[in-house]
Amino acid sequence: MLSPKTFDRRRAELLRRLDGQAVLLVGTSAPPRTSPYMPYGHRQDSTFLYFTGCEREGAAALIDGDGCTLFIDPPADDDDLWHGHVETLEGIGAHYGVVRVRPASELEAACAGRSLATVGTADPGRTALAARLTGQDTAYFPARGHDALTDAIISMRRIKSDEELAEHRQAAHITSLGFRAAMASTHVGGNEAHIAALFDAVLAARGCGTGYHSIVTVRGEVLHNPHYVNPLAAGDLLLLDGGGERPSGYGVDITRTWPVDGRYSGRQRAAYEAVLAAELASIDLCRPGVRYRDVHMKSAEVLARWLLDEGLLRGSLDAVMESHATAAFFPHGVGHLLGLDTHDLEQFWDRAGYAPGRERSTEFGTAYLRMDLDLEPGFLFTIEPGFYVVPGILRNAALRETWGDLVDWDKYADWIGFGGIRIEDDVLCTEDGSEVLTHETPKTIADVEGLIGTGASALDRLSP
Ligand code: GLY
Ligand code: MN
Ligand code: MN
C-alpha cells in the first residue's frame, strides 16, 4: 500500500502546478446490479484514488491551500451489523493523510460560492454533481473540463514513482503465478472457462482483483474476445490476456499464447517466433527520447519481413511499410500507457497519449495506436504486437482494395482458422533504457512448452 504521506505530497504538488487553484474531485458510486442492495463491485475513479487513496464509494475531496477535506457518507447505525466494523470519520481520515473528514451532506455548502476546478468520472451521476457544484462544463469521455487541472493530472500520473512501481511489480509477480497455473493446467478436452476461472482464482487468492475482464480464448483473432465458451482442442492456440490489480488500484496487463496440446505446430511456431522477435525488437528500442510510434513501426517492420518470407504479403518491404499492409495481420497499436487504469488516462484520450501537435492517424491499424509520445524515464507502457488471421479482414472489400496485391488473399484464406497470437509485456522507460516489469511470465517457446499440461487440469484443480 502507499503511504498516507504520498497522497498529501501529490495534493501539494497539484496545487503548486495550479498556482493555488482549489480543486473538487469526486469519487464514483457502485451502480446497482439488481437492486441498490445488490450493487456491482465498486472500483474507485483512478484520479480520485491517485490524490486521496480513498476507495470508498460516493466520496468527494476539496483540495485547497488549507489542506484536503474528504466528504464521505457517515456509516449508518446498522452498518456494523451488515458490514462489520466501521471506522469513525476521523479514523478514516488518518488512512488517507487528509486534514478533515466531513459528512457528504456538507459538500454542497462547502463548495458554494467558490471557484473550483474539476474533472469527470466514469459515473455519470457523480460527474453531473461535480459539474453542478463547480459550475464547470465537464464530461468524462471524451473528457471535457478544466484544462490546467487535466494537464496536471496527466503529467503527474504519467510518471511512475518507485512506490507505484513496487505495486506494479507485486501485481506482475502475482500475475505470473496465474499464467504459470494456467499453462500447467491446459489440457486437450478442457474449456476456456476452466482456465479463466483458475487464472482469476490464483490472482484472488493472492489478494489481487483483475484490472479488466480476463481474455481467455482459442479465438484470439477476436482482439478483446469476452466469451469463455470454447472447448480446448488439439491444434488450438490459447490466448490469455490478463492482469492482476492490487487493492491500491495499480495493476499489470500481460498476454501469452500457447498451444493447447503442448507443442507449437510448424505454422504456430513460425508465427510465434515472428511475434516474439517483433516484441523484443520493439522493447529493445525503448529508451528516453524515442518516439513511441517508431516502437510500433519496429514491430510492424519485423512482422512484415516474416510475412513477406511466408508469402502472406507480397512486394517490397518499402511498399508494404508505406501502405501499412501489415495491419492485415497486426491490426492494432503496439501498446498503451499503463498505471491505475489498464489503458492509463484513456479518458483523456490523445491529450494524454499523444504529444502536442501529433494527430492520430485515421488509417486502419494505426488509428488504434493509443500512444505517440516521446518516451521519458518513469513512463510505464505495454508492448504487445500480435499476428491474427481475421475472417472479417479477409471479407472487407475496402481493405482488400486498399492493399490490393500486397496481401496474398488466397493465402490469407488458407490460414483462416489459425486464430491469433499476442505477446504483451509491461515496460518501464528508465534513465538509460528500459526494464520489463513482467519478465517472470514465461515467454520463450522452450519455457512455455516446458510448462503446458504439467499439472492437473484446471477443472480438477478447482473442483477435484
Ligand atoms: N488487455 C487489453 C489490452 O491489452 O489493451
Ligand atoms: Mn494492453
Ligand atoms: Mn492486454
Task: Decide if pLDDT at 83 tops 90.
Answer: no
- Give burial (CB, 10 Å; 0-12/13-18/19+) of 408: middle
Pocket test for ligand 1, best of 296, 424, 438 (most atoms within 8 A of CB): 424
Pocket test for ligand 1, best of 179, 222, 223, 224 (most atoms within 8 A of CB): 224
Q: What is the mean pLDDT of residues 358-383?
A: 96
User: Ligand 3 centroid vs 64 CA: distance in angstroms?
Assistant: 38
212 lines ligand 1 (CB under 6 A): yes
pLDDT at residue 369, as a whole number: 96
User: Ligand 1 centroid vs 423 CA: distance in angstroms?
Assistant: 11
User: Ligand 2 centroid vs 62 CA: distance in angstroms?
Assistant: 33
pLDDT at residue 46, as a whole number: 98
pLDDT at residue 329, as a whole number: 98
Question: Which ligand 1 atom lies nearest to the CA of residue 335?
Answer: 5
Contacts of residue 209, defined as CB under 8 A and 6 or more positions apart, other chains included, come to: 203, 244, 245, 247
425 lines ligand 1 (CB under 6 A): no
Q: Is the full-model pTM beyond 0.85?
A: yes
CA–CA separation, 195 and 325 (whole Å): 34
* Atom 3 of ligand 1, residue of closest alpha carbon: 253
pLDDT at residue 236, as a whole number: 98
253 lines ligand 1 (CB under 6 A): yes
Task: Decide if pLDDT at 84 tops 90.
Answer: no
349 lines ligand 1 (CB under 6 A): no
pLDDT at residue 299, as a whole number: 98
57 lines ligand 1 (CB under 6 A): no
Write out the three cell numbers for 230.
470454447
| Dihedral of alpha carbons 329, 331, 332, 334, sign | positive
Q: In this structure, which ligand is nearest to the CA of 254?
A: 3
User: Ligand 3 centroid vs 382 CA: distance in angstroms?
Assistant: 8
Q: In this structure, which ligand is nearest to the CA of 225?
A: 1
Closest among 74, 139, 125 to 101, alpha carbons compared: 74
344 lines ligand 1 (CB under 6 A): no
Domains contained in the chain, CATH given: 4-158 (3.40.350.10), 162-461 (3.90.230.10)
Q: What is the mean pLDDT of residues 72-83?
A: 88
426 lines ligand 1 (CB under 6 A): no
User: Ligand 2 centroid vs 238 CA: distance in angstroms?
Assistant: 17
pLDDT confidence band for 1 (50 / 70 / 90): confident
Q: What is the mean pLDDT of residues 239-244?
A: 98
User: Ligand 2 centroid vs 408 CA: distance in angstroms?
Assistant: 29
> pLDDT tens across 148-190, in order?
999 999 999 999 999 999 999 999 999 999 999 999 999 999 9
Question: What percent of the chain has a predicted confidence (pLDDT) above 90?
Answer: 92
Q: What's the whole-number average pLDDT of the chain? A: 96
Peptide bond into 142 cis (omega under 30): yes
CA–CA separation, 375 and 72 (whole Å): 38
User: Ligand 1 centroid vs 171 CA: distance in angstroms?
Assistant: 16
Q: In this structure, which ligand is nearest to the CA of 224?
A: 1
Task: Decide if pLDDT at 93 tops 90.
Answer: no
pLDDT at residue 97, as a whole number: 81
Q: What is the mean pLDDT of residues 43-58?
A: 96
* Integer angstrom CA distances of residue 375 from 90, 204, 337, 350, 353: 42, 33, 11, 15, 11
241 lines ligand 1 (CB under 6 A): yes
Closest among 48, 49, 57 to 75, alpha carbons compared: 57
User: Ligand 2 centroid vs 364 CA: distance in angstroms?
Assistant: 18
pLDDT at residue 86, as a whole number: 78
Question: Which ligand 1 atom lies nearest to the CA of residue 241?
Answer: 1
Q: What is the mean pLDDT of residues 204-216?
A: 98
Question: Which ligand 1 atom lies nearest to the CA of residue 384?
Answer: 4
* Integer angstrom CA distances of residue 110 from 24, 48, 55, 69, 129: 10, 18, 22, 10, 14
CA–CA separation, 282 and 48 (whole Å): 33
Task: Decide if pLDDT at 87 tops 90.
Answer: no
245 lines ligand 1 (CB under 6 A): no
Question: Which ligand 1 atom lies nearest to the CA of residue 332?
Answer: 5
User: Ligand 3 centroid vs 283 CA: distance in angstroms?
Assistant: 16
Task: Decide if pLDDT at 98 tops 90.
Answer: no
pLDDT confidence band for 75 (50 / 70 / 90): confident
Range in 97-106, 235-244, 277-286 with the lowest mean pLDDT:
97-106
Q: What is the mean pLDDT of residues 401-426?
A: 98
